[in-house]
Structure 1
Amino acid sequence: MFDCNYLKEVNDHLGHEYGDLLLQRIANCIQETISKESIAMRVGGDEFLILCPHHDHQQAEKLIEQLQESFRLKTDNVLKLDAAFGYYTATDDTLSFEEAFHIADQNMYAHKKIIHQQRGK
């Protein structure tokens, strides 16, 4: 899962039309990057979840790298596409979906915290 880093700033400074455009670009990046068996959904204002059946740890990290590259390529002088990512790879069915989702969510917020610290915020 991931959380867009600049949606609030875009909405506050450029307006919700540009925020909608940012979300549309993010959605396009997801559609162009994920496999046909994967499922992507928006789960909050600026949070997205991608379910990738049969993906292991390395494939999950590769997907994140591909999404980050796609965001970089779709960034322009007005809209910067960037996100904080978190994931969990289930190798068996010992955790419920909610528990796996919670772990991925915690990992995403840990990544977001690192990003904010690097920016000095």
Structure 2
Amino acid sequence: MLKKLLLSIAVFAATAGFAFAQVDVNKADQAALDGVKGIGPKMSKAILDERQKGGNFKDWPDLEGRVKGVGEKNAIRLSDAGLTVNGQPRNAAAPAKEEKKAMPGESRKDGKKEEARK
């Protein structure tokens, strides 16, 4: 009983330290991934399984596309908690796609013609 208690305290202390350190998704083991706030045993197993199956993750979009449960919003949270991909944090400010405005007389996407402004 005492051994189990000491072991659990040691594991807790080790994983608590990971919560404040940078953890690279391509180098981390399950204990290190579990130490990142927001990653539980199920997600860490999914990350490790996908890394074993498809190789290291190239970048954040690669991780987001290959691991179920890691979408854009969750990736930002995990990055804020210390997770990195190849040492890089997730950039929260992804460039937005700009939509071309129709010129007067041109058709818009909705089929209506843009009228000249006076």
- Normalising by structure 1, what TM-score? 0.29
What is the TM-score when the length of structure 2 is the normalising length? 0.30
Larger helix share, 1 or 2: 1
Q: Going by fraction, where is strand more abundant, 1 or 2? A: 1
Question: Taking CA–CA contacts closer than 8 Å with sequence separation of 6 or more, which of the two structures ends up with the larger relative contact order?
Answer: 1
Larger Rg: 2
